Chains A and B, each alone.
Chain A
């Protein structure tokens, strides 16, 4: 009896994981990192995948979930969201994405995450168990930033966090609170582009149309780059001063937050849409000796080889999108993942729009329809992003020892008809209800 109490206490101490042990019995397991296994069971203990095998016997106190004919996949990961930071993008008081100021690396998105956001429930139903949530320029409740006008151009908006889509508190939800530093790289506006995606993620473009010429825009661009370089240089000086620990050294949170970036521990997520912008971002990264992840490229073109050569991953955000210009091929956006794959660039998908995070699997599905190998598409929403965001050892596949972020489906998750039957986040079964299902129940019961 005493022993049991101690064991329970231990289980509770092992993170906030659910103490329940679950055996998903007799399912087809698609681990993503290996070949599918038919008719095997998955044992979940202490929030982790304790075992996978055909002959696992449910011990005492293990709840058995009969899963004959069902499939087990790792939960999906969306690499571009503002989940938990922004509820209704048009309603100012529900938006808490960022702070004013040009360089704000000391901001941490994770502490602003609202675990009660309705968005989490919606995305869970489609099997999304974790997301990258990015801070972005201004917009916050009090200040009135970029999104609601009044904010100045922002370059570093803070640290993006990798979080679970379930938890009582943001501490519960954390996977990696310092998954990336969000850098909004300066860029010159092009003509005739459709843009697309969430403007929060895109660079604040330097206009060439509003009375200015390209030459002027170019000058502004170079000024911005110089400013950015200055900031990194200052951070390096700070790093040296800190190491020297001279008397009179004053801690500065901004530069303190930059240290892991300078040490290449935390990658910088850089928005860059055109090949030239990607090229510039890569050049900047080389010069500053930092790691980068490119967000939302609209085309790769000549930059693909550079990305491959330096092992720089990209997050593809524009898959379910219209062509960029009127003469672009209709499938321009659909074939971008294939292009990245062929070039050998590591990539993952991101929806970059809170309202459409649930469509993450269909981004991958569209890419498959336009030539991307199926397995690669699945990887791009599971193991690839987990690795890109520094959590490849914790999530992203069905492997022994990993966190039990699993979805149990009745079919291929890239198919739109497929239903998620069970969802586990850190081993806890999460009810597949949300605002929409509650409304459904409410109005179904009306006499």
Chain B
């Protein structure tokens, strides 16, 4: 017992508090568990990157570094279900070389593997050229721990992002990463393959070949899935008995598609949501819709509910342009969207549609806080808002067994605030990622706005 205490103390001293310690106990804090009712006064014990215990009457381990939790609230760390954080230069073409002198420090991960194969295809003539396709990419392989956006979004309370490659029609698979300041990218990865990110916007930088119209893109996606099914069939047959059989050619585009256990489809407007749900059903693929701007429309909620498909709602609520021409008047449709979009989460919640909120390029803590506040002001309860940023994304990606709520045995991703989360005056006191404590950076400047998802639906 004494030894344990000493080692504990040693660790605390050695790491001078800023780094992780074998055990941390936050005592007498309000604990919003999300998976169950909040505890008005409880204790959370964190050890080895996991939540060791949580409850009202939890004994504080003798070796624990104790955080006095009076006046503090503990939430599960926020999860961004669709992001590019961790892939540097993702927002724009990575091909235009690294920015600043940072390039040298980054590990040897090629900056733009996405662009390389596309460059080989001069101008796609048809689906056989696999245009705008890098389905084999895994975000986990592209990860750069030096991405400074990691710290920015962590300071906003995010401990986890579902990071996706986003270039092309089949952009590749996303990975779930914990936003720790790991030395090695691999340490950050929670789940390597979450599913295939599909966008239907014109493939910028791909040289304007096929496909360039929405109908071409949809036909292309359909063809790829047909090809993939056939590819699987032939491969299986060949594996069973190769004798007398022509060897099937290796096709990494199809391999990538076959390895994806779900697809992310873009859809903002009602017609797009309906179209994508039908399309996913036709492809027999589990689908996650992203965008969801018009989910304030009851019809949209209805089709989503009927399909049982989860939706990731962008928190980049439509806003009036800055510095507009004073003579311009916005159309009724635009005004309606602007007015009603933040109310969508409340409606989805009420209807029982599985949804989560994603930042869609918002990075600055203040922007994110404001965006969530808008949804709350439009009728979403604070509890549901927290859930849409924690447990719901975890459930959508099937990782609720390891994160998303404050439960024993889950990953110790925690957010400790003074005051209720998403209030104007609330300040984030500390963030735990994989049990390691971080203090939020003071509102970082620069960086601006990050990646936004491609306009779902492409051409309208």
Contact = CB atoms under 8 A, between A and B. Distances in A.
Interface of A: 188-192, 208, 213-215, 217, 274, 276, 325-327
B329 A188 contact: no
B324 A214 contact: yes
Contacts of A189: 325
A191 B325 contact: yes
B328 interface: yes
B325 A192 contact: no
B329 A274 contact: no
Interface string B380-403: 000000000000000000000000
B327 A327 contact: no
B328 A215 contact: no
B323 A215 contact: yes
- Looking at chain B's contact residues, is the secondary structure mostly helix, strand, loop, or mixed? loop
Contact of B322 (A188, A192, A213): A213
Contact of B328 (A191, A326, A327): A191
Most chain A CB neighbours (cut-off 10 Å) among B322, B325, B329: B325
Interface of B: 321-329, 331-333
A276 B323 contact: no
Contacts of A208: 324-325
A276 B331 CA distance: 20
Contacts of B322: 213
A327 B336 CA distance: 13
B328 A192 contact: yes
A103 B105 CA distance: 55
17 contacts: A189-B325, A190-B327, A191-B321, A192-B328, A208-B324, A208-B325, A214-B323, A214-B324, A214-B325, A217-B325, A274-B327, A325-B329, A326-B331, A326-B332, A326-B333, A327-B331, A327-B332
CB-based closest 8 A-B pairs: A213-B323, A191-B328, A214-B323, A326-B331, A214-B325, A327-B331, A327-B332, A190-B328
Contacts of B329: 325, 327
B64 to A, nearest CB: 54
A191 B324 contact: yes
A327 B326 CA distance: 17
Contacts of A213: 322-323
A326 B337 CA distance: 15
Contacts of A188: 325
A213 to B, nearest CB: 4
B320 to A, nearest CB: 11
A318 B326 CA distance: 23
Nearest to B326: A214
A219 to B, nearest CB: 12
Contacts of B327: 190, 274, 276
A208 B322 CA distance: 11
A208 B328 CA distance: 11
B454 to A, nearest CB: 19
A63 to B, nearest CB: 58
A325 B324 CA distance: 16
Contacts of B333: 326-327
A327 B328 CA distance: 12
A325 B331 contact: yes
Nearest to A276: B327
B403 to A, nearest CB: 40
A327 B333 CA distance: 9
Nearest to A217: B325
Nearest to B334: A192
B448 to A, nearest CB: 14
Nearest to A218: B325
A191 B322 CA distance: 13
A274 B329 CA distance: 13
Most chain A CB neighbours (cut-off 10 Å) among B321, B328, B331: B328
